[in-house]
């Protein structure tokens, strides 16, 4: 991924970050670089489904298939996993209990892109985004228009809410407030019970989810997908960074690709994926570009609320087969699933932790 980095080295290439404000966790070191090899496919998902997705994408790449086909196939596998509450089928719903999905795709070879936002009832939003990219002159379709478009192209409408996601949503509603009518009846509440009920508030599943899939094929063409159910329990209609080209995803065939997970509001304001690709164009490695984008966000927030600590994780690949990832927080180094000629592995990036 990237050469080892010391605390001094990390600060040395920061973007003017105030000394001591944010540091790389000194306890966590990088894994050694895996070198430069193409074809290559990566995802920000490091679970078993992520591994299966990488193997499926790899099969396409090694058969001479395109990066676009590989990222779509891989992302579809993650999207239809009912156990995954961050993406596609089984994703956590909005505050009204409706699953609304966002996704984007970009093809470096054609410099074309497509996206959908607030798409309901379709398990594979990235495939709808691909048709927007390839069969229209538009880039982004939203809500009812996106669903009508998907219907016209033969996508099956399905209930995307799994029992697991519904239970998480109900638990969230019950833990929201002790003065609304969600939760046990008033006559069953006493102070101890209320305390017990809300003491586990932090255990309510709540996240920004998202997966990125990026690939380089045997011809050297680069493509990427970002797909998500977005912020859990969001205000209906809220759109995050994932379907915004330049924010949640960006691809440049000459340079590489980058994708974001985490709080979309942060990612959109700094056009993080575009920024990472432009940093790589200036000679930064994917690992360094991910760190540069995180530092850009930290630097901005430092001026308005030094206590605020964003939650992003960025991944990036170069057209020549390097890769990297970095995250704002977490006890462990952020991971990414990587498949190339060396096989499948979970590569580790860098984490910025507030000191
Ligand atoms: N990164 C996903 C979202 O904010 O919706």
Catalogue all structural domains in the chain, each as residue range(s) with its CATH number.
Answer: 22-161+207-354 (3.60.20.30), 165-201 (no CATH)
To 10 degrees, what angle do helices 67-79 and 125-135 make? 150
- Residue 186 binned pLDDT confidence (cut-offs 50, 70, 90): low
Instruction: Using the atom order of ligand 1, give the atom closest to the CA of residue 238.
Output: 5
pLDDT surpasses 90 at 200: no
The mean pLDDT of 19-35, rounded to a whole number, is 41
pLDDT surpasses 50 at 327: yes
Which residues fall within 8 angstroms of residue 169, CB to CB, at 6 or more apart? Answer: 92, 93, 97, 161, 232, 233
pLDDT for the residue 175: 84
The reported pTM is 0.86
pLDDT for the residue 185: 66
Q: Region of 295 please: left (phi>0), alpha (psi -120 to 50) or beta.
A: alpha
- pLDDT mean across residues, the chain: 86
- Output 186 or 342, whichever has higher pLDDT: 342
Instruction: Using the atom order of ligand 1, give the atom closest to the CA of residue 231.
Output: 5
Tell me the pLDDT tens digit for each residue of 249-261. 999 999 999 999 9
pLDDT for the residue 92: 94
> Which among 117, 126, 248, 258 is the best mutation to test ligand 1's pocket, defined by most ligand atoms within 8 Å of the CB?
248
Q: Please tell me which residue in 38, 85, 124, 210 is annotated as part of the active site.
A: 210
Instruction: Using the atom order of ligand 1, give the atom closest to the CA of residue 264.
Output: 4
Share of the chain above pLDDT 90, in %: 71
pLDDT surpasses 80 at 240: yes
How much distance in Å is there from the Cα of 6 to the middle of ligand 1? 31
> Which among 91, 93, 230 is the best mutation to test ligand 1's pocket, defined by most ligand atoms within 8 Å of the CB?
230
| 210 is an active site residue | yes
pLDDT for the residue 180: 72
- Residue 337 binned pLDDT confidence (cut-offs 50, 70, 90): very high
3-state secondary structure 305-340: CCCCCCCCEEEEEECCCCEEEEECCCCCCCEEEEEE
């Amino acid at each position: 991924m990237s050469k080892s980095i010391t605390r001094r080295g990390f600060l040395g290439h920061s973007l003017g970050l105030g000394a001591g404000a944010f540091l790389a966790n000194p306890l966590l070191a990088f894994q050694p670089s895996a070198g430069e090899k193409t074809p290559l496919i990566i995802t920000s998902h490091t679970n078993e489904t992520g591994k299966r997705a990488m193997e499926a994408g790899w099969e396409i790449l090694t058969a001479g298939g395109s990066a676009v086909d590989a990222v779509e196939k891989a992302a579809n596998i993650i999207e239809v996993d009912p156990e995954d509450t961050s993406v596609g089928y089984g994703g956590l719903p909005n505050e009204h209990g409706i699953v609304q999905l966002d996704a984007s795709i970009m093809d470096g070879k054609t410099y074309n892109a497509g996206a959908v936002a607030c798409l309901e009832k379709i398990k594979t939003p990235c495939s709808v985004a691909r048709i927007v990219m390839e069969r229209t002159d538009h880039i982004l379709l939203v809500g009812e228009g996106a669903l009508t478009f998907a219907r016209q192209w033969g996508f099956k409408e399905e209930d995307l809410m799994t029992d697991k996601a519904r239970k998480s949503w109900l638990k969230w509603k019950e833990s929201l407030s002790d003065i609304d009518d969600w939760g046990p009846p008033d006559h069953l509440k006493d102070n101890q019970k209320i305390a017990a009920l809300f003491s586990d508030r932090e255990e309510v599943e709540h996240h920004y989810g998202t997966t990125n899939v990026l690939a380089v094929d045997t011809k050297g063409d680069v493509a990427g997908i970002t797909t998500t159910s977005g912020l859990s329990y969001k205000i209906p209609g809220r759109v995050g960074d994932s379907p915004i080209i330049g924010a949640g995803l960006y691809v440049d065939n000459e340079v590489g690709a980058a994708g974001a997970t985490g709080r979309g509001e942060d990612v959109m304001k700094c056009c993080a994926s575009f920024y990472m690709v432009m940093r790589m164009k200036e000679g930064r490695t994917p690992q360094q570009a991910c760190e540069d984008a995180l530092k850009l966000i930290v630097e901005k927030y430092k001026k308005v609320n030094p206590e605020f600590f964003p939650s992003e994780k960025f991944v990036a690949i170069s057209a020549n087969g390097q890769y990297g990832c970095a995250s704002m927080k977490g006890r462990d180094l952020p991971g990414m699933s990587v498949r190339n000629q060396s096989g499948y592995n979970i590569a580790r990036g860098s984490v910025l932790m507030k000191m």
